[in-house]
């Protein structure tokens, strides 16, 4: 598969009806989202690995071939030093993107496997549920915790999300979960 960045958006007014099937990627800043995109693309610098967390405020549309669907990388949330205005701007942009987007098939929500379930992540997943968009939960940096801790966290998230399947353990460092993640994306992206 190849992944290519085709479009970047900074403001609501740049959003337009996008006819192609999309899967969005969301997560707190520093969760490992750029690393995941780079890993999937097999390239080191496709998505910027943030030296300054909270800096990327754009929506990045990556085309995946030969499948033909898009991965839409959403700006990270929850950066502590973000102003209230910036936070509200994030929420408005994301809401405008997600609402009434009939081509958005699922949102992959990235969850840091080193942290207990975080309030903002729970809020996002329940919002997605309320507007009927499937959540693909992914535990990033899964090379870090011990297997037992990972399993515990998987069970916690299963309870929170009330999903039968446990979140996918992923690591950009070791490649853990990469094949499975592609399978999940393809499953949601094909009609
Ligand atoms: P983003 O802000 O969500 O885009 O996060 P980045 O991809 O920039 O990663 C944030 C930090 O976590 C960086 O220091 C990465 O090196 C580190 N990181 C990302 N993915 C992994 C992983 O799978 N394993 C480990 N051990 N560290 C990771």
ipTM: 0.99
140 CA closest ligand 1 atom index: 23
Query: Mind listing the pLDDT tens digit of every residue in the chain (191 residues)?
Result: 999 999 999 889 999 888 999 999 999 989 999 999 999 999 877 887 555 555 567 899 999 999 999 999 999 988 777 788 888 888 899 999 998 899 999 999 999 999 999 999 999 999 999 999 999 999 999 999 999 999 999 999 999 999 989 999 999 999 999 999 999 999 999 97
Q: Give the distance (Å) from ligand 1 centre to CA of residue 82.
A: 20
Domains detected in the chain: 2-189 (3.40.50.300)
Sheet holding 59-65, edge to edge: 2-9, 59-65, 69-73, 22-27, 104-112, 135-140, 168-169
> Is 143's C-beta closer than 6 angstroms to any atom of ligand 1?
yes
Q: In testing the pocket of ligand 1, which one of 26, 32, 38 has its CB within 8 Å of the most ligand atoms? A: 32
Q: Give the distance (Å) from ligand 1 centre to CA of residue 34.
A: 7
């Amino acid at each position: 598969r190849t992944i290519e960045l085709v479009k970047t958006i900074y403001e609501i007014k740049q959003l337009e009806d996008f006819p192609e099937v999309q899967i969005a990627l969301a997560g707190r800043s520093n969760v490992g989202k750029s690393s995941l995109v780079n890993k999937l693309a097999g390239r080191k610098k496709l998505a910027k690995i943030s030296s300054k967390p909270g800096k990327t405020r754009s929506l990045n549309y990556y085309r995946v071939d030969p499948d033909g669907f898009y991965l839409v990388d959403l700006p990270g949330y929850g950066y502590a030093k973000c102003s209230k205005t910036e936070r509200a701007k994030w929420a408005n942009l994301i809401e405008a993107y997600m609402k009434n987007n009939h081509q958005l098939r699922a949102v992959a929500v990235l969850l840091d496997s080193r942290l207990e379930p975080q309030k903002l992540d729970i809020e996002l997943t329940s919002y997605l549920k309320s507007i009927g968009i499937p959540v693909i939960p992914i535990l990033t940096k899964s090379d870090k915790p011990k297997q037992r801790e990972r399993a515990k966290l998987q069970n916690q998230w299963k309870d929170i999300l009330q999903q039968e399947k446990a979140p996918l353990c992923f690591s950009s460092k070791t490649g853990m979960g990469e094949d499975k993640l592609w399978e999940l994306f393809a499953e949601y992206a094909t009609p």
